[in-house]
Amino acid sequence: MAASDKPAKASWPDVERRKAERRRDAERRSAKGHTPKEERRAVTRRTGGERRDESGWQTVSLEDTLEMTFDPADGLFAAATAARRFAQARYSNFQVGSALETVDGLIVTGCNIENATYGLTLCAERVALVKALSEGHTVFTRIAVVADTETLTPPCGSCRQLLWEYCGDVEVLLSNLQGNTAHYRLSALLPLPFDARLL
């Protein structure tokens, strides 16, 4: 850069004028209720330990299930249970199997696939959905989820979102290895969805 191209150094009166303008701006913001920057910096930030503990969360009851209008022995649970055996859950040991039924009656299965970062873990429901979509299936009627838990395990939030996007208000069937079952509409598990209607 040539010496003539360098920006001119601000003169003393210009510097003072800018300082005065900043002070006036700060006074106007303060009059409108804005917190001065110095005070904002001084505020102690919350840490993870100060967040609400488990007792502060309001749980959502999953007791009100739909009336059982299906035969638990119709094959969907069996397929999900079989898929569960292939789960790659070496970190959590929490094995989940899922079976997604297409409108033609075809069953596509999935199991959870974990990895060391945890964040890239794929749930059984998403594995089944992605397999089905990648094979050209686009209309689905039901999905079953099976886990070895006393309390039945519903799809997580991410799975509910993707199921809503690609399956609509499908039936969600839950079971454990003891044979306990529950039956929901996806809209009951995701009552206020964000979807293409809002875009």
Domains held by the chain: number: 2
pLDDT attached to residue 152: 95
pLDDT attached to residue 64: 52
* pLDDT < 70 positions in the chain: 1-13, 32-73
* Rounded Cα–Cα distance for residues 160 and 141 (Å): 15
pLDDT attached to residue 48: 47
pLDDT attached to residue 80: 97
**Is 38 labeled as catalytic in the residue annotation?**
no
Pairing of the two strands 171-176 and 140-147 = parallel
The single residue of 101, 114, 125, 171 carrying the catalytic annotation is 125
In this structure, the answer to whether residues 108 and 161 fall within a common structural domain is: yes
Q: Is residue 98 part of a domain?
A: yes
Q: Is residue 19 part of a domain?
A: yes
* Rounded Cα–Cα distance for residues 100 and 129 (Å): 7
pLDDT attached to residue 78: 96
In this structure, the answer to whether residues 118 and 26 fall within a common structural domain is: no
Q: Is residue 146 part of a domain?
A: yes
pLDDT attached to residue 146: 97
Q: How far apart are the first and last CA of the chain?
A: 48
In this structure, the answer to whether residues 86 and 153 fall within a common structural domain is: yes
Angle, nearest 10°, between helix axes 157-167 and 124-134? 30
pTM comes to 0.68
Residue 34's domain comprises: 14-42
